[in-house]
Copies of this chain bind each other. A is one copy, B any other.
Amino acid sequence: MTTQDIAESFTKLCKAGKFDEAGAKFWSDDVISIEPMTGDMARLKGRKAVEGKGKWFSENHEVHSCKVDGPFVNGDEFILGFEMDMTPKGKQRMTMKETGLYRVKDGKVVEEKFYFNG
């Protein structure tokens, strides 16, 4: 599979709301996940840690809908845009916009890096 193929397959799952399945299928065992923040979750390494972040997110946010834009591809990287209508636990409903940059190696996503708007 080319990066374009992987990007399209990954994106198709995200557009269907199957973010966990996209990760399960395409994350490398050593995947690195980088968030634009400080603290424990700023940089995670390994499938188990990144799955843990996904679990934490699901447990602490109610996602009403998520628009996914892309994929935008160059070489071994692709970018997705996300616009998420969600309610963080105990807070007000909000729209979160972010982009994700994915780096592909040997048919797997080896790094994902997120960028926030605002």
Contacts and interface: CB of A to CB of B under 8 A. Distances in A.
- The SS class assigned to the A binding surface is strand
Contact of A99 (B79, B98, B114): B79
A115 B74 CA distance: 5
Interface in A69-107: 69-75, 77-79, 81, 97-99, 101
Given A79-B79, A81-B99, A99-B81, A34 B116 contact: no
A73 to B, nearest CB: 6
Contacts of A73: 36, 115-117
| Nearest 7 interchain pairs by C-beta | A72-B115, A36-B74, A72-B99, A74-B115, A79-B99, A72-B117, A79-B115
